[in-house]
Every structure is written in structure tokens, then in C-alpha cells.
Amino acid sequence: MARLHIAITGFGGIGRKVAELLSARAARYRQQFDLDVRVVGICGSSAGLIDEGGLSLEALSDRAGYTQGLTGETFIEQVPADLLIEASPTDFRTGGAALGYIRQAFHRQMHVIAISKGALVRDFPGLHAEASRRGLALKVSGAAGSAMPTVDLVQYNLAGCEVTSLSAIVTGTTNIILSEMMDRECDFADALAEAQRLGVAESDPTLDTHGWDTACKIAILCSAAFGDVIDVQTMERQGIDHVTLADVRRWKAQGVVPRLVGRVDRSTGACEASVGIALCGPDHPFARAHGRAKSVHVVTDLMGELTLVGGGSSPYGTAAAALKDLEHILRDLQRPPRPQGPQGPQGPQAPQAPLRQRSL
């Protein structure tokens, strides 16, 4: 049986859930894909752990066993992995550590599943080109809506159709805060405090509440699903931090429901993206996306309009979205390689790199 060795960079809430789910699904990977899938390395900001034989959940929980300094370039250089799951903090302005991790992983011929958003916002075209050139996968479901399918919806379910517009609720924190404000008729600070008490909002929630998180996810979606490059810094963007109790009372009286929505308009040929508050009638599907729920609405040329509601915000949902990407990669790898032209594999048509055959 071939082995698939996985490395995880960023071992916080999400990285740990990924490791847990990989362990719980080990038998499934053996049965469905004839593959022995093992986590062989993880790293945080200052320390990491590598074992080519595979790391148990017990070993991963024992921070005393971590090697100080085994992080960054050193970690990627040493970890004997076929695939990187990137879950370090998001820094959309610089790309953060994730940008280096992903570039170096490609250099070492690893497939990449990105959950953090910064590197993708900063340089999706460059990363995608490098992956294609090397015949490697770059998957981004965890960074573009997680349990709410967005990229896959467009690429798989609507393949061949033109998507003329798309709008989506993709940030759990803002949806929870707006839902709280409407349900309890409370002000922004109150609703934010409740979201923080529930462990949903960060102690610094401004990335979410100022609309950056939605803007980043929409930009990643545009790049991955449409090949359209969007600059989040210049994107028209509104957050929810300015919403007052008076707004809430007025909206309730009008019978409308506020939602922070990312919008993409491709009807003119160009791709226009923005983030702002939408006031939805009570029968609009977005009104049913309450609390942690997300939603995406797509208008196509030939398959009409579709709306998905659900895919709530949760760490396990995000980890599961990353592992959905893994299953897609494994299926692609199982396909026989396409015949190559005289020039060999090139550009986006290049076949996926085969898994290394590892003896048990």
C-alpha cells in the first residue's frame, strides 16, 4: 500500500482538527484509495515535530516533545511530506508565513491545501502558476467559505456555465453579530461581546467586522473559480461596525434582515467585487442564513439561479472542507496519467505528480 505523508503548518484550533479528522478517517483512506495517510510533521510559530513513521494524536498533544526552532523554512526543508495543509495565521497584507510555506512546499514537490487566506490573497496567480508548472494541486476550500462550497460549486457543479453574478455570506462572525443584534435588539458592542463569549469572534475582531475577511474570501473565490484577480485593498468594502441600535430598530420595523454580503458582478465581462450590508426581505434565502450559517447565490447563463444555505461556521467544518480538498486530490491522483505531447507536461494541463511509493 502506498503512503501519503502530510505536513501541517499552523497547529492551532484548525490544524489540530485537521489532524484529528485525518486520524479518524485513516481506515476510509485505506479502503477507498488504498492509501496509508499519515501526518508526519507539524509546526507552530516556534517549534515543530517530525516523524516519518507518522505522528499519533498523543504525540501531537505533547508539546514537551516538540523541537524548538523546527518551524519556517527549516521545517519545510526537513519534513518528508507529499502534501502540505497550511493553517497558519492569515496576513492578507503581506501573505505572512504562509506565503513562504506554500512556495517552498511547491519547490519540494508537495501538493498544497491552503486554509489560511493571506498567501492566496497576496499571490494566487503566482502560486497557481507554480503548482500547474509542477503538476501539483493547490486547493483552497477552507479559505473560501469552508463548509459552504463556493469554488467547488462553480468549478464542478456549474462547470461549463458562465457565472454572471455571485453573492455570498461567507463570514460567520459578522453573521452571528448581525443576527444577535436583530434577535435581541441590542447594539453592536453587546452582540460582539456575546460572539466573543461564544468563542466565535477573535479578541481583535476587526478583520471580520470591518469586512476584510469577506473581501479576502471573495477575492480568493474570484481567483480560484474564475481566474479573475481582485485587489482586496481597493475593493469597495463596508463592514458592520457602524451599525447602530437605531438601524436595527428601523430594519425591524421595515421587516428586512441585514446581512454582510460579498458580491461579484461579471455581467459586463469585467469582474467587479464589493462587500457591503444587504437588506434582505424575509423570504430571501439570505434571511434564512441565520447565526453561524452561510449562503451563496449564483446566477448563471444556462443553469439559472442557485442558492445554497447552511455550511455553518465551525472549526470542524473548516477542517472537513480541507479534507474534502484532499479527497479530490486523491481522486485526481488515481486517474491514469494523460498521454503527454512531445513537449512533456506544461502549464495548467500538466498531470498531477504521482504519490511517492513508500514501503511500510
Tell which one of 3, 11, 295, 324 touches ligand NAP (CB under 6 A). 11
How far separated are the first and last CA of the chain, in Å rounded? 8
| Site for ligand NAP contains 69 (CB under 6 A) | no
Q: Which amino acid is at 66?
A: Y
Tell me the C-alpha distance between 118 and 107, whole Å.
19
- Residues in region 234-273 near ligand NAP by CB under 6 A: none
Choose the stretch contacting ligand NAP; rule: CB under 6 A; options: 83-91, 128-136, 299-307, 339-347: 83-91
- Binding marks (x or -) toward ligand NAP, 267..306, rule CB under 6 A? ----------------------------------------
Shortest reach from residue 73's CB to ligand NAP, in Å:
10
Report the DSSP beta bridge partners of residue 166. Answer: 264, 298
Q: Is 145 in the site for ligand NAP (CB under 6 A)?
A: no
By rule CB under 6 A, what string of x and - marks binding of each residue 189-228 to ligand NAP?
----------------------------------------
Distance CA 309, CA 286 (A): 7
Q: Are 260 and 175 in contact (CB under 8 A)?
A: yes
| Integer CA distances (angstroms), 67 to 44, 46, 48, in order | 10, 9, 5
Distance between CA atoms of 251 and 183, rounded to whole angstroms? 12
Closest-CA residue to 275 (of 249, 241, 250): 241
Minimum CB separation from ligand NAP for residue 17, in Å? 8
Closest approach of ligand NAP to the CB of residue 263, in Å: 20
In the complex, least distance from residue 345 CB atom to ligand NAP, rounded to whole angstroms? 31
Strands (E), the chain: 2-9, 35-43, 47-50, 67-68, 83-86, 111-114, 138-139, 163-169, 236-237, 257-265, 272-280, 294-300, 305-310
Per CB under 6 A, contacts with ligand NAP among 103-142 are 115-117, 142
- Taking CB under 6 A as the criterion, the residue among 4, 10, 70, 151 binding ligand NAP is 10
Distance CA 208, CA 205 (A): 6
Structural contact between residues 40 and 6, judged by C-beta atoms closer than 8 angstroms: yes
Residue (9 or 274) nearer to ligand NAP, CB: 9
Among 8, 35, 43, 222, binds ligand NAP (CB under 6 A): 43
311 binds ligand NAP, rule: CB under 6 A: no
Q: How many residues make contact with ligand NAP (CB under 6 A)?
A: 26
Indicate the pairing of strand 236-237 with strand 272-280. parallel
Quick one: 117 or 259, whose CB is closer to ligand NAP?
A: 117
Site residues, ligand NAP (CB under 6 A): 9-15, 43-46, 71, 87-90, 97, 115-117, 142-143, 146, 313, 315, 318
